[in-house]
Structure 1
Amino acid sequence: MADPHPALLMFIGARYVEQRVSEAVLAAGYDDLTPAMARAAARLRDDGIRVTEIAEQARITKQSASVLVDLLERASYVERVPDPADARARLVVLAPRGREVQKVARRVERAIEREWTRHLGAERMAAFKAALTDLREITDPYR
């Protein structure tokens, strides 16, 4: 493709990061974390998130999100806690094991950002990040 769409170029970069993170997580011994589980866990917020929100953001059914959260919970990556805003609801939060995996992922993400900065130069990398941040205003309903 001579002139790929910017969205395809962003996807290629995101897929590269996902692959590098996945390889590092596997190398660190977390071999029970599937790509689908990792994508669901990546949507967790520090203050927790409901399964319905995971489903909405991941564009999967609530049932699929529930299955993924069940798998994450059985593997001790997440836990369900009461939602302080609604006694009937539960929030999904990272468990200690999930925080350990998150640290591995964040280390790889920072390493990739340093690699990209070396490749592009600090000024172009800053402009790239600023442009992507600006695009969130019109592309990310969950920002």
Structure 2
Amino acid sequence: MTDGRPRPENLAVLMREIFVALNGRVLTHLAEQGHEAVRPVHSAVFEYLDDTGTTVSLLAERAQMTKQAMAELVAHLETHGYVVRVPDPADRRAKLVQPTDRGREVVRIAQALVPEMESWIGEIVGAARARALREDLEAIRRAVVLT
């Protein structure tokens, strides 16, 4: 609300709200599978984490957040057994964040929900519009990434 009036909606806000809602469905499913420690903000780690390991600095860069904030997320996930930090073989001073079996399970569960969610979106707007939506979003992503 702004001065008691509803905030104006725009495409970016709508896309974010939809992402938050869909991500919430994933997190509910994860909690039902015993992964209550995973919170919405942790998607910033799982989304950008390579199977072979990724430094906190690179995770932070990919997620467009500070190294300190990313380090806190990684510490939480490490405490709960989703990731480990190991020496980087290319640079012994650095540490790589690697997913554990538990972390890989979270990714598998989330990825397994993708077809269900995309089908659900197709039910809401129709299969043709869902395909067109995907194409439009991919075009926007290409344009944004290239600029």
Aligned equivalent of 2:100: 95
Aligned equivalent of 1:137: 142
8 Å contact kept, 2:82–2:103:
yes
TM-score, normalization: structure 1?
0.82
Q: Report the count of equivalent residues.
A: 141
Aligned equivalent of 1:36: 41
1:63-102 equivalence runs, <5 A: 63-102=68-107
How far 1:84 moved relative to its partner? 4.6
TM-score, normalization: structure 2?
0.80
Q: Which has the larger radius of gyration?
A: 2
Aligned equivalent of 2:3: none
- Unmatched 5+ stretches in structure 2: 1-5
Given the superposition, is the C-alpha separation of residues 40 and 140 from structure 1 closer, same or farther in structure 2, using an over 3 Å criterion? Answer: farther
1:123 and 2:147 correspond: no
Q: Find the residue that maps to 2:113 and give its secondary structure.
A: helix
How far 1:80 moved relative to its partner? 2.4
1:22-33 equivalence runs, <5 A: 22-33=27-38
Aligned equivalent of 1:56: 61
Q: 1:64 and 1:104 mapped to 2: Cα distance? A: 25
CA RMSD of aligned residues (A): 2.4
Q: 1:85 and 1:122 mapped to 2: Cα distance? A: 47
Q: 2:62 and 2:90 mapped to 1: Cα distance? A: 20
Q: 1:131 and 1:80 mapped to 2: Cα distance? A: 38
